[in-house]
Structure 1
């Protein structure tokens, strides 16, 4: 028996598609068989499996488990929960890998799989290897066992181990995603006053889409914080590995702002430590790390790549603009928005200031969101190469860690080929609106020279 995946679902960092269109239970079963084959090739035998709150997640999880077992792997099912709870299970149970069935922050009809093998992210060439194994039918056969494990209480206890003081009045918005039940248990242990929104799991997402990087999705949380006069509000994406944050005045703090708040307390404990952030983050963050005596490292966007870099450098902390926060000091090195919330409480407490005061002290900046420009798949890399050639000829200051990050007098701009779509990703940041307009003009000039319009 062989199986062929729609190549579109084989992403750089995970597997993700639209259920009923290009993702089916048969794909989940084949992923189980192929991943089990890799686990056994690595000398492993047991895999933890979890799933998020989407309506089709239970069916995909069942097919996945069927595939794992058919290829001779024993399965530990941890049930419904956020992706970091699966990562926690993989890190602490006697297993050799883990798979979370999740569509993350994608539309409700989407779903997918995040994979871990031997505590390392399973991505890029590894995901393509699953497709090769499936297409050749080159999977192992066997009869694995299945057991259940309830890890939620243990996970909540481990989250609380990151608490070190701080009593605040906090709003929590789980967006009807998989983090909700964990939030409900967590706040029972945290001191202070806690107000919860949408902690019941509902894969239809009836209140708002669970993506805290889109400001419109934070409206309910802003209203709650204003109405109850809370100190701040925390939001999560659909599978609980990305965090959103607003202060008492309803101002959004993006991923690089959140990381900058975590920096001082981390460097107080680990002077001179390396802290990693992705190429989309503000210059202000890298300056903050350096000013606090740390070593800033800019790295490629993507949760799997960031985890690998964190481990390679032995860094205690990393973060992305998208709200993925990675903790290796006193934790396991994976991205966990719930643990990030606990560590934020600690960091704000240790700062001696309110979150609003910390936000007020940040230098002014004016930035675009991520802007996607549709470009044919076969053309997107070529456009980036053409722009790079023109910039080099002009003597521009360019960082090529991940795409092109160009430093100019007004600030900086970024051009990348998307890892997940037929598009270019743009971002620019300046100190004021006039500077931002000039940066956008520079981007438009480069795109126009390659026949592309923003």
Structure 2
């Protein structure tokens, strides 16, 4: 292969994703390997770790990726099937590698796939991905004959996870009753190995990896996908339940009352715990997060920082400002105090257990103590990929003309006496994302009416 053109829609802001066959195939994986090998070698590196999720297309894409990396002159350490955080862990702790690529479609439909990339301990995203595309078109690649070796790292990864519970009361941990739903995703085997070592009683669902996702779609932020976990928590009278996404880097929790805790609510608990030990620390949450979270971080003695949505962007910003904790509403939670700065649902679950123990309250009691604003989930408005950013820009111009109170770090987050509403273009789907929050139901309706009016000015009807 002398040069290659990627489908321009698959080089996303955070990672690479597309429908296998129509947008993404073996040639794309090979070209990615050649391009990333060139980047790694140019920075003085010589080896890359590679992992994959359980999708049916992942072995094919992994094989082509490894061929591209070795043809580009870097050695490859193959860790095989596992969650994306296990790949991140390998890159962070294995001295011989200077980068890592996970073949994964994350929480997308079963016929999609993609790649998440890290280089020298930092996300490889945005402009770096676009430059890979330019490099591929020019065929500007290094050449060589890299070697491949296999590495079984799951046991070491799980051992490291367990350190999150060091120093806690083992008797109290032994009284816990927790449910886990791996959703047939790539974290299933690591989860089984983990719970076998944990104190307490643990009940697992769907830990057998199946790339067709026969039980439910692998996105735990959609409440319908939590039905099995909710039923398990109720039937077994568990303390709480943990749901993982398809590649194990996102977490959603169901408490003992069956209430769903999304990422911003989980961050509230984690921030309260962390700030007792590291007062004054900056903590990052994305623009979709509840105002209750930002207020709570300040109340607990931290510095709340609002950041762009996107796991890669938050990780990069955490590294830039030295934040020990960050996350987004969709359940990507990142820790840099006693972890490596990346998102890991299994580690996040253990940190929630630890936080509950240190704060002396159950997860359900911690949820009881949270404010109860009226808010929407993420409302998705279908729009053409080519026009979604232009729509947000037009709405932003009209808001600026009208001197509205707007934060524009990622789309528009508009504050009014009723609360706030957000409009942004999704970086992973052909949709606009709308969210609103108020202290009253009537206020929420007024916020949504205002957002709908702004969309209508741009020629978009939400409903």
TM-score range, shorter chain: over 0.9
Contact 1:364 1:432 in 2 (8 A): no
Question: Which deviates more from structure 2 when the two are superposed, residues 266-275 or residues 368-377?
Answer: 368-377
Post-superposition offset of 1:378: 4.1
Question: Which deviates more from structure 2 when the two are superposed, residues 19-28 or residues 302-311?
Answer: 19-28
Post-superposition offset of 1:427: 0.8
Q: Determine whether 1:289 maps to 2:289.
A: no
2:247 aligned to which of 219, 228, 239: 239
C-alpha distance in 2, partners of 1:80/1:309?
A: 29
Contact 1:12 1:419 in 2 (8 A): yes
Post-superposition offset of 1:63: 0.9
Post-superposition offset of 1:368: 1.4
Q: Determine whether 1:308 maps to 2:300.
A: no
SS across alignment from 2:387: helix
Post-superposition offset of 1:122: 0.5
C-alpha distance in 1, partners of 2:299/2:449?
A: 32
Match of 1:277 in 2: 285
Contact 1:255 1:323 in 2 (8 A): yes
| Deviation string, structure 1 residues 403-428 (Cα, Å, up to 9, x no partner) | 11011122110011222344322111
Q: Determine whether 1:152 maps to 2:160.
A: no
SS across alignment from 2:101: strand
Match of 1:395 in 2: 403
| Deviation string, structure 1 residues 289-335 (Cα, Å, up to 9, x no partner) | 00000000000000110000000010000010000000000111011
| Deviation string, structure 1 residues 107-142 (Cα, Å, up to 9, x no partner) | 001111001111111001111111112111111110
Question: Which deviates more from structure 2 when the two are superposed, residues 410-419 or residues 37-46?
Answer: 410-419
C-alpha distance in 2, partners of 1:433/1:388?
A: 26
Q: Determine whether 1:110 maps to 2:112.
A: yes
C-alpha distance in 2, partners of 1:435/1:21?
A: 44
C-alpha distance in 1, partners of 2:180/2:374?
A: 27
Match of 1:453 in 2: 461
Question: Which deviates more from structure 2 when the two are superposed, residues 424-433 or residues 384-393?
Answer: 384-393
C-alpha distance in 1, partners of 2:234/2:157?
A: 31
Match of 2:144 in 1: 142
C-alpha distance in 2, partners of 1:241/1:285?
A: 21
Match of 2:365 in 1: 357
Post-superposition offset of 1:25: 1.1
C-alpha distance in 2, partners of 1:312/1:139?
A: 30
Match of 1:326 in 2: 334
C-alpha distance in 1, partners of 2:72/2:362?
A: 53
SS across alignment from 2:29: helix
Equivalent runs, 1:69-88 vs 2, <5 Å: 69-88=70-89
| Deviation string, structure 1 residues 27-59 (Cα, Å, up to 9, x no partner) | 111111111011111111100000001111111
Match of 1:444 in 2: 452
C-alpha distance in 1, partners of 2:355/2:254?
A: 15
SS across alignment from 2:21: coil
Match of 2:389 in 1: 381
SS across alignment from 1:376: coil
Contact 1:115 1:122 in 2 (8 A): yes
C-alpha distance in 1, partners of 2:350/2:429?
A: 34
Equivalent runs, 1:332-371 vs 2, <5 Å: 332-371=340-379
Post-superposition offset of 1:85: 0.2
Structure 1: gaps (5+ residues) = none
Post-superposition offset of 1:340: 0.2
2:103 aligned to which of 101, 117, 120: 101
Equivalent runs, 1:69-218 vs 2, <5 Å: 69-94=70-95, 95-164=97-166, 165=168, 166-167=172-173, 168-218=176-226
| Deviation string, structure 1 residues 343-371 (Cα, Å, up to 9, x no partner) | 00001111211111111111112221212
Post-superposition offset of 1:390: 2.7
Match of 1:220 in 2: 228
Matched residues, number = 454
C-alpha distance in 1, partners of 2:133/2:394?
A: 32
Contact 1:87 1:98 in 2 (8 A): yes
Q: Which runs of 4+ in 1 moved over 4 A?
A: none
C-alpha distance in 2, partners of 1:71/1:379?
A: 36
